[in-house]
Structure 1
Amino acid sequence: MGGSEAPAGPNRVPPRKMAHYGKCIEVAMKHLDRFQPQKDSPEQFLEAAAASLQTLSPQKQAFIMEILSGCLEYHKLLTIVVDAFYVRDGRLCPRADYSLFEVLCYLATFQLEELGFQVFRDVVQAQPAHKACKFLRFLFNPLNLGSWIKDEWSLIYETSHVKENWIDPLMRWQPEIQELINQLQGELTSQLSPPKSKAKVTEPKELSLTTPRPRAIPVPELVPQVAETRPVPRSTYEPPKEQRLLEMTKRYNRWKAEELLLQANIEELRCAVPRSRGEPQLQDSKKKPRLRLPPRILKAQKLTFYTPNDNAPVKLNTAAILREGALYQRQVEKALQRVDRLVDGAGDFSEFLEWQRRMQAKDREEQLAAGEVRRLRGKLSHEEAVLARQQVAREKRRTAELKKEELVFLPAQRFS
């Protein structure tokens, strides 16, 4: 209904859209002024009008032909309303605007539901504001709609048809039309020139010879040019070079110690590998030793624990000494636990590394395969979306062509 299509707030029409509707209404008014009901035939008149509109766009042609055919079809109903308007409220309006009021009455009565309030508002705002405002206030007056307009139209059509199809929709649209009328009235009020302000009366002042002259504005002094300051050296915000070298040395020593510890741990596990008597240990770990004699497990050498020397010439505080002692104690415990596991029959550490590498390679292959599957699925979905958009575009073009054909043959079907 009208309440759902009304805009949230009054907005002005863009100049291009106003010029579009204004030109269409102007062309329709010129054709209606040339129409004479006593002499001209509606069918021949519409054919001549359609031939003269070939230079316009199809959208403008359909809009103008719809107005002309509707005004000719409901000429009697429109004449009743426009004649009454000139007698009552439009006594000062020129008769040259008769066709304009016919077009506005037709659009408001028979095309408002189809066009929508937004398009109707654009059409009205493209016309002179004072004329459209006065006619719409007369047409949408509830007293006029419920009394003489309904009675006069009921003499031509059935009363139930008039009330249900024309009078009731106009009454439902009355609040939105009233807002449009108020907007047009506000624009007319704002266009009026503001009242001229009264001229100020000259106030005489006494002549005073002793009044001092105003002090002259002193000339501003030149700003002295200050020598450019030297920029702050970058070394202020950077640590000293010696400190950076010390940090690099510490990181390198720590990395070297970790490498040596890992190498020592790997070499330490060879003491539990069984081999034959009198056969030297093989250098290549990939070759399996041949067991000719019953194997025996060699005992690892006993670990020797050295207590830290407190008299060492190293300047360390108490916290650093405690941290070094705790670190050394943890390393010793880890080494003992590793030896115990080897004695209990634990495997070689290199086998675990080899298994870990195989598992990582397998995981990488699975990730690559999953990524390829996702890429192919994305490509397939993209192609499906492109095909769907092309199908929708074809459907829209087909619908638009059918709509144009219906608009072209609509006047001929109405009078056939």
Structure 2
Amino acid sequence: MKPAALIAAVEQLYNDFNPSVETLDSYISDTLGDCDSPSADPDKIFMKQVLYSCLRYRPGLKAFLKHFFYDNAGSTVRADYNMYMIMLTLALFRIEELGVDMFSKFAFAQEPMKMCKFLTYIFDTSPTSPIMCTVKQEWCKHYDVRFVEDTLISRIRDLTPAMEELCEKLATMAQGIVAAAEEKKAKAGITKLAKKKLTVPNPPNITKPRPRKVPEPMKITNDVKVGAEPHYLDRTSLSEIEDTKLARLAETRSETKKKYETAKEQPFKFHKSLRDNMDEVRREVEEKRNSELKFDMSHRKPLPDFRRFNATVKMNAAAILREDSLFKKKQAEEAKLIKDYEEELRDSTEFYRWRGEMESHDHVMKMEQVASKRMQAEASSRNARDAKERQLVDNKAVADLIKEEGELITKQRKMEVEATIMVNKQLVKEIREVEEKAPRKAESLVFQSRQAIRVSQNAKLKEAWERKLEEDEIEKGRKKDKIMRLRTHIVHKPEVKVFDPTTSAGLGLLDEMSLVEMEERLQINKEREKADEIEKRRGIVAERTLKQAQLSQRIDNIKRIREAAKTANREAREQKKVRNKKMKEIETSKLQVSQVALAEKLMREREEKKADMAALMDEEERRKKNQMFQGAATHQVEETHYDQLLLGAERQAKVKQERAQKAALIYEETKKTARKVVEAEAKTRKLEKAKLYKAKDEEIKEKRHDLLIKQKASVAHKKYNFAVTRTKEQEIKAKMIDRNVYAQSINDMSLTLAKTAKARRTKNNVVSMLTS
């Protein structure tokens, strides 16, 4: 296949691939067939490798193409997106395998102008180029910085000289194509018609006129004549100008002062204003005023005491109705209690009193239980300490057993792993033998079944299509016949009707009436509605007055209820305070009694323990005396010797422990100092890194701003070129019309006929839809 056909085939493969439906490997095997065997088609292998590269490097390719289309919006077409992606893959990731010569063939197979602009954009390695600024930043978001610098940017720099030569060749080709297109446009699209050869007369041999002498063109000079420098600047200097300025200022000040001194109206001179202690008097007055100020107070005025007067609360209708409803609900509950007492002859007050006594009794029992639990917790803590010591001994024995079992389990597991590795190796060997033969057989069977399905489906589609064409012809003839029958029945008859307002339509309806009767009835209905409206207004006013009276009555009732509730609540609060005080005193006394009992118990246990220890000591002394009397002095001397040895070992261990503690303290201090140094260095590096990033960000912002300015200038230049081109095209079109007026008239007539035929066809379609 040729390079252009290969690029088009890869583009079609990329467009048809849908990753949500099938995997890439299955898509390649279904579309291209065998691409892995040594006898596979090289073109298919090339298409497979390019497609794999496009999908693998898709994020980086999309990042580049986003900036490329943004920077060249006026000279690129969005339909060439996939073509640019394939060429970018070949230029960046497959150029080493293809070589520059083979890549040039693929570039020459596309449009020269597009490829020239595309390659110039890629291999522009200047510091302000997009590939070194914005595109590089986008690549660093998707790939490692080292890969971008050492692989992509380095490869672009190495290929820049060869690609510049290729761009020059493409630019030369593009200029030739553009020149041919401009030449074709200059002819204004007028085709040369074959004409009959005309008779060419031979002119007589007449004396030729002498050419007129053309005068030489007048020379226009572009020189700018400047006169000599003026000499008045040499008459003065800066110092003289400054002296003149100061003299003029002093003269103006003296004239102004003299004007006010010689004026008729002079300011009145007070006697006190002549005193020298004016500043002291002013300072004393200000201090006196400042002493009366109270800016340091938390409040300028004392806060009001809201307990001396009640706050004014304005109640709306909703609040009044809500409180009245609560009062009625409470009344209903009390009435229900009275009714229950009358019917059942049983008062629930005794029950509530009994429940309160039981609750207080339960509270007392709960406190006693808390005290007993506290004592039990103390005893259980002592038992827990003894159990912990026993548990430590048992745990040590269990740990030794677990270690032995662990060593045995480790050995067994190691043997199992070795056996599993041997089985897996054998299994891998068998699977590889199957993989080399089974896929090829399965592929051939699938390909044959698909071929048979395709042949049967094509035959069915062909039969269905022929049947559909026959049905369409029959339906078309039926609709045409129906339209012709409908057109034969269309007849327009003129009708003239005269309107009489005093008579009805005469259709025989139940409510049929004339216009005059309808107006009279409307007038009667309006008067009836007006009377109903007045009556309704009266009812609304009466109802509103009744509601207002009911609200007033409810407000009075609410005030009376509130006063009663206030008195009852005050009495209940006082009773509750007294009751709580008594309960607190009882609980305090019980707590003191329990604390005294607990202290006595603990003291008794301590005395018993001391007595036991004293008895043991006496028994030990008695035993030692008996041994001494019985001739056990030698044994006593040995015990004393061993005791001294143990005390010496204890002293030695204590000295070692103190040395180890000192060494540990020194190590911790050294470690803390080293950690502080490391943290300080890390902080310094962080600050330097932040400064570096800030400088880089500012540099990027400046470059981005410059790039934006260049882009705006480029867009403005493109707009200007577009406007100039459009003006030229309009001029060329006008010239075409002036040169061939007859062709333009024929063109206008053809357009008119086409529009008329389109309107007629639309009308026929609408009629056919209505009839069907």
Q: Which has the higher contact order (CA 8 A, sep 6+)?
A: 1
Larger radius of gyration: 2
TM-score normalised per structure 2 = 0.22
Structure with the bigger percentage of helix: 2
TM-score, normalised via structure 1 length: 0.40
